[in-house]
Amino acid sequence: MAGFGIRPLEAATWPDFAGLVERHKGVWGGCWCMAFHAEGVGRATTPEQNRSAKEARVREGRAHAALVYDGPDCVGWCQFGPPSELPRIKHRRAYESDLGTPPDWRITCFFVDRAHRRGGVAAAALEGALQEIARLGGGGVEGYPEDAEGRSVSASFLYSGTVTLFQRQGFERVRRLGKNHWVVARTVQPATVRDGRTAGS
């Protein structure tokens, strides 16, 4: 994560997150990163309603993300949370058709400022999310990335990350979801406290 800082999404960092979303017109049609929460998004909700719902979740501690900073500027994030917090994953029918033990945590979404794409922000965000998961007790973690090897895919559409990105952090393929997406998984050990400081997994 050389050159980047990581902070959790919380009340204190909400203005930084909101500023990044606002610079990108609400992100993906004004979803405000609500698509994977139980409320979802759609024609029945406006960007303003999505913003309000997201802020309420953040201030109540019901939304998690690792925010990436380049100096004082928030330039990306990786959304994560327990399945109860993020139930609306893509390819849900295929996922549930062969479901074993649910994970403790899901990683569902990445976003990178358009001026910082292909600069390592997504990798820093994933590493930061895993550190946050370790701090919060660790456990089994799943992601649902896209296999982009040998294919031309716009970085702006790789919101779930790539298989390669996850594999670099020790995730292994578990099963296929759809044509190009996979369930990947790994276990994160809980952080330990040493000399009054928290160490990651």
Which residue do the tokens 């000399």 mark? 195
Provide the pLDDT for residue 150.
Answer: 62
At position 36, the amino acid (one-letter code) is F
pLDDT digits (tens, 9 = 90+) for 131-176: 999 999 999 999 999 887 766 565 555 678 999 999 999 999 999 9
Q: What confidence tens digit (pLDDT) does each residue in 64-114 have?
A: 999 999 999 999 999 999 999 999 988 888 888 877 788 999 999 999 998
Q: CB under 8 Å to 72, separation ≥6 — which residues? A: none
Provide the pLDDT for residue 157: 58
In the prediction, which pLDDT does 196 show? 46
Q: What is the pLDDT of residue 200?
A: 45
Q: Decide the pairing of beta strands 197-199 and 192-194.
A: antiparallel
Nearest to 65 by CA among 9, 17, 123, 144: 9
**Going by C-beta distance under 8 Å and a sequence separation of 6 or more, which residues neighbour residue 102?**
83
